[in-house]
Structure 1
Amino acid sequence: MTAPRPNYRSADFLRAHIRQTMAFYDPVATDASGGQYHFFLDDGTVYDTRTRHLVSATRFVVTHAMLYRTTGEQRYQAGMLHALQFLRTAFLDPATGGYAWLIDWNEGRATVQDATRHCYGMAFVMLAYARAFEAGVPEARQWLAQAFDTAEQHFWQPPAGLYADEASPDWQLTGYRGQNANMHACEALISAFRATGERRYIERAEQLAQGICQRQAALSSPASAPAAEGWVWEHFHADWSVDWDYNRHDRSNIFRPWGYQIGHQTEWAKLLLQLDALLPADWHLPCAQRLFDAAVHRGWDAEHGGLYYGMAPDGSICDDGKYHWVQAESLAAAAVLAARTGDERYWQWYHRIWAYCWAHFVDHDHGAWFRILHRDNRNTTREKSNAGKVDYHNMGACYDVLGVVEGCE
């Protein structure tokens, strides 16, 4: 039975929902020997106690920092510090400044399973340190600067004005280039500027946004992408030309799926307006509106509700699954657009997406959100959280909207 529908624009509701979501993880996620567990079934059972992923590790820092800043409760501060210590002792290689992608943690000892250097992972390292500094960890400012300098040294590509994506443990770049790492680096650098006031962070964030949302998006032309002109494609070659075939047969890849990601168009819309609030530019708002409007027009499932995952260049839906993060980022984008423009239709989208999530994604029995649903909204996996999830997107969406509605009250 679905719980009674709340007032989704209420600050009290948003604060409560963040707490209720974190209650799924806190305190059962804490591993006294180090960090947090990363893999949970729907009922909260930990199904893998040893595998630890860089993205989950960093996102636990972020979610605890959000809860601490929202509530002031010491237990969330303790969780943030526990997660920070684990990030720095289990994942960081002090000799190179790199962070392991995947480790095995057993009896207080880390064994690196995958030492590949990912810019996507470094983006979340920077975000974790920025949020920790905001939450009262003074050393995190230096850690943030070190992570930024490492990314600049090894991933930054001056001719493209964007970051490369992947390197070997000794920093030899592969030929893959992706928008996703740059999008999350933009997110991290916005937070870094908010936390520190250092202009180099926000200026780099603007450069990333221009590179992806203007130059790279222009490569989605009427000839190449008749249903997605000006949309953000995911995958590129080393020279930043479009790779239309990367993972074409792996459309549900957890970090690099094929197709236009509906949720990444709306996530960019949110980031562009957050960027605009700090470093205004005339192009931010019209681009944000165009990306959001096109994404919900093409991506909303009129029959079953919710936003699809992936769309092919011809407009056909290539992955009709419903993913939690797509809905979460889209409702946050809708709220930010509504507050910025005063256009009621964005609040209508906000309520439509929230009502869908409340009915289908929020687990009213065990807590947190389901990860992925079938098109008809059946839960097709018992995994509540696998690598990278930890409900970062939905808690973060509530946190972003909280900033919007508190400014409106």
Structure 2
Amino acid sequence: MSQHTHRDPSRLRDRLVRVLNHYYPDCIDTRFGGYVAQLDERDGHVYDGLTKHLVATCRAIHNFSVGIKRDGPTYCRATAEHGLHFLRHVHWDETHEGYNWILAGREPRERTRYCYGHAFAVLAAATAVDVGLPSARKELERATSVLDDRFYEPAHGLYADVADPEWEELGAYRGQNANMHACEAMLAAYEATGEKQYLNRAAEIADALVCENTDNGCLWEHFDETWTPDYEYNWKDPDHQFRPWGYQPGHHVEWTKLLLHLHDHRPQDWLVETATDLFETAVETGWDDEYGGFYYTVDREDEPVSSDKYGWAVAEGIGAAARLAVHDRSYLDWYDRLWTYADRVLVNPRNGNWYESVSREGELPDQTHDVAVEPGYHPISNICTAIDVFEANPGLLE
């Protein structure tokens, strides 16, 4: 496949639609409402039609809203509206005013309040506002209010991570990941509404977390309640779903993309410089020169902790390299290299969806059929980023 295929906006749109088509129509839950996210990544069969994870719900709303924006299939609008209604009326806890983390059908299974999940509610609502879905603006205001009223800590300019279901106490843990996605959500909310408070908050998060906490191009994941790095957190649980121990190259390139996105709206030299440093750190310490792909995590001596390769990290690298190429064309080499690896190892040739993870050598793992939180969000978001870059900068197509 020609490298220019990876840069052609029309062909990129086709890739985006293939991911959406993998999930539709089986993702529509006609029994309980909302989405079925647990579709087998190899053949697409539903293996759990009951469990509803807040993050999966929000990401699917976002995905189908992106489909509307990109002139995708006609089903996108009704499907996005379907999910937004479920988020608003079922995930939402009217008594305590927050989103329940996991549902069984329509009943709460896990009510813990996570900043990470509420950040994705902001993202979902913002993308829905951007494409004019009914009630999206009210949901954006509600989700933002909870995020700011319950999690935001003005002394640090960042968000706490977790609270009990009744909002009586915040946990001591503070995390990079939730704040990164809060920054992403605030940028989306600013673009959807034009309201500067969202852009201001995105800039505040980036400044407090990335500008103040990078160490030689590295960004640690885990902190205590004073935002002091906790280098022991989860060191015995390196494969934790949301909080693995170690540096994550995938998050370094994800921040590259976000800092450059922020720079588009509020240019500052440090944003481009730091974005470049984070990307270079990711490829120097996290890229597997023998088999390709980013190691999931590396230790403080740049040695792999988990050598598995995750599809989301490569997808984020694609978005990051596309944005970097606007400032330095040489990053198109990484853009093409990442797509080559993705097509060879991560993209399901049958359906066009992306595998969640593979071994270091690129082999699919034994199927575990866990609760799904990734219904194509990372590929769709970063394909969309690449489309934006190449449409705005046609010279990069040459």
User: So what's the TM-score if we normalise by structure 2?
Assistant: 0.95
Which of 342, 348, 357 is matched with 1:372 structurally? 357
Separation in 2 of the partners of 1:36 and 1:138?
18
Q: Is the 1:247–1:257 Cα contact (8 Å) retained in structure 2?
A: yes
2:199 counterpart of 1:214: no
Q: CA deviation at 1:71?
A: 1.3
Q: How does 1:391-402 map to 2 (within 5 A)?
A: 391-402=376-387
Distance 1:308 1:177 in 2: 24
* Aligned residue in 2 for 1:184: 181
Asked if 1:18 is matched to 2:5, the reply is no
Q: Which residue of 1 aligns with 2:338?
A: 353
What is aligned with 2:231? Answer: 244
The Cα shift of 1:4 comes to 8.2
Structure 1: unaligned runs, 5 residues or longer: 221-228
Q: Paired residue for 1:300, among 272, 276, 287?
A: 287
Distance 2:27 2:366 in 1: 20
Query: What are the equivalent positions in structure 2 for 1:189-338 lying under 5 Å apart?
Result: 189-217=186-214, 220=215, 229-338=216-325
Counterpart secondary structure, 1:310: strand
Counterpart of 1:226 in structure 2 is none
CA contact (8 A) 1:251 1:319 kept: yes
Q: Does the CA-based 8 Å contact 1:5-1:358 persist in structure 2?
A: no
Deviations 1:274-307 (CA, angstroms, capped at 9, x unpaired): 0111122221000000000111111111111111
Q: Secondary structure at the match of 2:241?
A: coil
* Structure 1 counterpart of 2:226, one-letter code: D
Q: How does 1:44-83 map to 2 (within 5 A)?
A: 44-71=44-71, 73-83=73-83
Deviation at 1:384, TM superposition (A): 8.0
What amino acid sits opposite 2:54 in the alignment? L
**Residue type of the partner of 1:182?**
N
Residues 362, 369 of structure 1: 8 Å contact kept = yes
Partner amino acid, structure 2, of 1:292 = F
Shift in Å, 1:93 = 1.1
Structure 2 counterpart of 1:134: 130
Cα contact 1:263–1:326 (8 A) shared by 2: yes
Q: Which residue of 1 aligns with 2:153?
A: 157
Shift of 1:344: 2.9
What displacement does 1:138 show?
Answer: 4.6
Residue-by-residue CA offset, 1:103-160 (whole Å, 9 max, x unaligned): 100xxxx111111100000100000000000111252122212211111111111111
Counterpart-to-counterpart distance in 2, 1:6 and 1:54:
37
Check the 8 A contact 1:262/1:308 in 2, yes or no: yes
Which residue of structure 1 lines up, in the alignment, with residue 166 of structure 2?
170
Equivalent pair of 2:217/2:274 in contact (CA under 8 Å): no
Cα RMSD for the two superposed structures: 1.5
Q: Secondary structure at the match of 1:269?
A: helix
Q: Distance in 2 between matches of 1:385 and 1:30?
A: 19
1:97 aligned to 2:97?
yes
Contact 1:97-1:147 at 8 Å conserved across structures: no
Pick from 4, 28, 31 the counterpart of residue 29 of structure 2. Answer: 31
| Partners of 2:226 and 2:304 in 1: CA distance | 28
Give SS of 1:320's match: strand
Structure 2 residue matching 1:7: 3-state secondary structure: helix
Structure 1 pair 24/310, CA: closer, same or farther in 2 (3 Å)? same
Letter in 2 for 1:157: E
Q: State the percentage of identical aligned residues.
A: 38
Mapped contact 2:250–2:313 kept (Cα < 8 A): yes
Between 1:70-79 and 1:24-33, the stretch displaced more is: 70-79
Of 360, 367, 372, the match for 1:387: 372
Query: How far apart are the structure 2 equivalents of 1:317 and 1:212?
Result: 24
| Structure-2 separation of matches of 1:273 and 1:321 | 27
- Count how many residue pairs are aligned between Structure 1 and Structure 2: 391
Partner-residue secondary structure (3-state), 2:165: coil
Name the CA shift for 1:268/1:384 in 2 (closer, same or farther; >3 Å): farther
Find the aligned partners of 1:291 and 1:242 in 2 and give their Cα distance. 18
Which of 373-382 and 121-130 deviates more? 373-382
The answer to whether the 8 A contact 1:332-1:397 is kept is yes
Q: Deviations over 1:215-260 (max 9, x none)?
A: 122xx4xxxxxxxx24111100111111111111111111111100
Q: Which runs of 5+ in 2 are unaligned?
A: none
1:94 Cα deviation from its structure 2 partner:
2.3
Q: Give yes or no for contact 1:40–1:385 (8 Å, CA) kept in 2.
A: no
| Counterpart secondary structure, 1:249 | coil
